[in-house]
Structure 1
Amino acid sequence: MKEDFDFIIIGGGSAGAVLAARLSEDPAAKVLLLEAGGSDRHPYYHLPAGFAKMTKGIGSWGWQTVPQRHMNNLQLRFTQARVIGGGSSINAQIYTRGNALDYDEWAQLGCKGWSYDEVLPWFRRAEDNDTFEDHWHGKGGPLGVSRPRAPLPVCKAWFAACAGLGIPFNPDMTGAEQAGVGYYQLTQRHMRRSSTATAYLRPARHRPNLTICTGAEVLRILTEGQRAIGVETATGPVYARAEVLLSAGAIGSPRLLQLSGIGPGADLRALGIAVVLDQPGVGANLQDHLDLFVIAECSGPHSYDRYARPFWSMLAGLQYLTTRRGPVASSLFETGGFWYADTTARSPDLQFHLGLGSGIEAGVAAMPQGGLTLNSAHLRPRSRGTVRLASADPCAAPLIDPNYWEDPYDREMSIRGLKLAREMMAGDALKPYLLAERLPGPEVRSDQDYFDYACRHAKTDHHPAGTCRMGSDVEAVVDPLLRFNGIEGLRVIDASVMPRVVSSNTNAATIMIAEKASDIIARAHGLSRKENSAA
């Protein structure tokens, strides 16, 4: 590719696809989007229940963590998307934003312009919500946000079990109040996944000023002096007249920066990489939600497990084709909620996802007679990890170290969450649906038992963040306008800029970051915008 562009966007995921669509609204702006992964043509990317295939390798880099030294050296599969649309093409489609206080905390940490009231317009602009249109929600945006169409009766039984523990039903966990349990809103439209690839890129893909390249892995960012001027790909260099926009995610962005000589200088020199900028914050501050789970065996066909068998799978497919309902229309984790492990916490610090089956995700046991899964995650971990290079080879997997449970507080809160999940699943309202708890199982009782169980069965909730931290201090990687400190013409725009991970799933927040960034960039370069700009 020999032509030059105004903007080169690295990564066509949840953030990159938004940027490409928004910046190319101005026909004078020449935009190139480079995505290392492939297309999203496979039907699994569009069927809501296709999520069950995603953590098992489809559309993923196939990475794992380094051994977790505070968890008996457990190594976790760490699914990171490798497909157009990124995480929005392979996640469970759960639309949550975190708590309003998360963003107010960002502002208090020096991220001017990022309080909840200030970012809410970009959340609303993105949405096309089929249920709510109010102070918190919008209609008419690119992203389909829908109520679930395929819940099962056992969901209401779980709500009743939670009510028995004093946890209320909440009809809108992204509205005025986060606490409580209910049906999650989903990034779906007409019972199909609404990824940023379908919601943002598909309507924009025929614009003559937008070039989209899949299967195009960027090897490094090109710099001249202390300015980003383009990227090196397998087919040669491509140059940007205005800016290089890095949107490769909380793992991919620090990885590429380090491959480009931008990161912790001593580490880069040890690998033989010439240092362009010694920036220790690149790849530091990694945060993620660790997931512990309860699985109970069902007393009858109360979950979607039986549809994994060929005959039932065929029936489910026919039902979906004719009615857009049934198991194929389910994200399988469309029920859940937020509550407290620490009763003194400023807002809910636990999140639950009720899985309408067992063995849904890779490494999670399936029940012979079908089961129900309840995931629990501590939302505001104090532990911090890193993303580092294993070698200077751009094809090598990075060293992903979330450093789970380095802080004993995280371990205590995670186990409290698991204990509460067990109480929920043991509620009287669920007794007609469940035979017995199978995991952790009756033998897990002491604190040591819980620790040992977690070190055998914990998994990531797929919410990495923070590795290119935004802030106003000298150690911040990017400033509140997402400009890279020390390298001109370069911005980072994805979940890596979150100074602290939000208290929920991260996809909606990542889309908001990109929406806001697109307006920041448009103002900086005098680009024209559509009338629904939130600026």
Structure 2
Amino acid sequence: GEADALRAHGVAVQADRAEVGRNLQDHLQARLVFKCREATLNDEIRSFYDKARIGLEYALFRSGPMTMAASLVFGFMKTRPGLATPDIQFHIQPWSADSPGEGVHPFSAFTQSVCQLRPESRGRIGLRSADPMQHPLIEPNYLATRSDQDTLVAGIRMARAIARTEPLRGAISEEFRPAAGLETRDELLDWARMNSTTIYHPTGTCRMGPDDAAVVDARLRVKGLRGLRVADCSIMPDIVSGNTNAPAMMIGAKLARMVAEDRKAAAAPAPAA
């Protein structure tokens, strides 16, 4: 890591790699919530009895709400016509909550999340102390650039437009979040800053690259050290325009092949003189 930061916490410096922990990128989601005229998953999982029934149904028959993905509908869209590829992903979920992990709302509703796919903003992760059990200091630095702000606000407006189109319009009784009174760019941006959440796609903090500042090389070896490689989404120079699970698996599979290649090359007899 960065030598001065390590020394400040009494950690011996093995390699001065100032970029470790920098270049943090993540997919931020703004979660719009719409109240519905008919029952949603909120109504099925609110009580302890409902949760027990659903758990039993899954345990015995592998059926019911627990067989569903968190989001049932996805959509990739462009916020501007001149873009080569989509810059926004929508997730529609048949339930709603203040944030993931909390209890569902006490009314029928669904969530339409707006996720910005290619953020320009960069954050960082740093040490809190030398204790590896302490959580690190995380500065996501979301929405730090004008482009990121404009893209997310445009996505929120697109999500609203979809909700106002049939057949969704007929199923919706009220926009709960952000709420109909918020219309201007600054109002929607302020709401997004206060209410958006991560989709848990952190990447970039051990950036791969040919330059001296990069943390790992093309074979995922940490520069300046022997016997240490990194194989997860932290090696991405730029975040992918979608979920990170499959790319993470690909990175691991690629490294496994490279390690096997290196072992085979090391075991090969030297060419005759």
Q: Which one of 413, 423, 432 corresponds to residue 151 of structure 2?
A: 413
Q: Displacement of 1:342 after TM fit?
A: 3.2
When residues 288 and 373 of structure 1 are mapped into structure 2, their CA distance, relative to the original with a 3 A threshold, is: same
Look up the equivalent residue of 1:511 and give its one-letter code. Answer: M
Q: 2:212 aligns with which of 450, 474, 481?
A: 474
1:264-288 alpha-carbon deviations (Å, 9 max, x no partner): 1122222222222111111111101
Aligned partner of 2:136: which letter? P
> One-letter code of the match for 1:504?
G
Q: What CA distance in whole angstroms lies between the structure 1 residues aligned with 2:58 and 2:10?
A: 54
Aligned mate of 2:221, from 483, 500, 504: 483
Aligned twin of 2:125: 387
Other-structure match for 2:188: 450
Could you list the runs of 5+ residues in structure 2 that have no partner in the other structure? Answer: 266-273
One-letter code aligned to 2:195: H
> Aligned partners of 2:170 and 2:253: how far apart in 1?
46
Q: Go from structure 1 to structure 2 and tell me whether the alpha carbon gap of 1:342 and 1:501 turns closer, same or farther (over 3 Å shift).
A: same
Paired with 2:12 and 2:49, the residues of 1 have a C-alpha distance of: 58
Find out whether 1:495 has 2:233 as its counterpart: yes
Distance 1:364 1:432, change over 3 A: farther
1:351–1:377 Cα contact (<8 Å) kept: yes
For 2:63, the aligned partner's letter is: R
Report the Cα offset of residue 361 of structure 1: 4.0
Aligned-residue offset at 1:359: 1.3
Q: What residue identity is the alignment partner of 1:423? A: A
- Find the residue that maps to 2:45 and give its secondary structure: helix
Structure 1 residue runs without a partner (length 5+): 1-262, 528-535
> 2:8 aligned with 1:274, yes or no?
no
Deviation at 1:336, TM superposition (A): 1.0
**Letter aligned with residue 209 of structure 2:** G
Say whether the 8 Å CA contact 1:306–1:370 is kept in structure 2: no
| Alignment match, 1:331 | 69
- Deviation digits for residues 453-490 of structure 1, max 9, x if unmatched? 11221111111000001111211111111111111111
Name 1:517's counterpart in structure 2.
Answer: 255
| 1:37-57, Cα deviation, whole Å (9 max, x unpaired) | xxxxxxxxxxxxxxxxxxxxx
In the TM superposition, residue 397 of structure 1 has moved relative to its aligned partner by: 1.2
- One of 406, 430, 441 as aligned partner of 2:179: 441
CA RMSD between the two structures: 1.9
The whole-number CA distance in structure 2 between the counterparts of 1:301 and 1:309 is 14
Q: Deviations over 1:336-364 (max 9, x none)?
A: 12111233222111111111101184477
CA–CA distance in 2 between the matches of 1:382 and 1:431? 34
Q: Give the equivalent residue in structure 2 for 1:343.
A: 81
Q: Offset of 1:381 from its aligned partner? A: 0.7
Structure 1 residue ranges (4+ consecutive) displaced by more than 3 angstroms after TM superposition: 302-305, 360-367
C-alpha separation in 1, matches of 2:104 and 2:188: 20
TM-score (norm 1): 0.47
Say whether the 8 Å CA contact 1:358–1:364 is kept in structure 2: no
Q: What amino acid does structure 1 have at the position aligned with 2:69?
A: S
> Offset at 1:365?
7.8
Which AA in structure 2 matches 1:276?
Q
Aligned residues: 265
> Structure 1 vs Structure 2: percent identity of aligned residues?
36
Secondary structure of 2:170's match?
coil
Q: Does 2:15 match 1:288?
A: no
Q: Distance in 2 between matches of 1:407 and 1:503?
A: 18
Q: Is the 8 A contact 1:307 1:327 kept in 2?
A: no
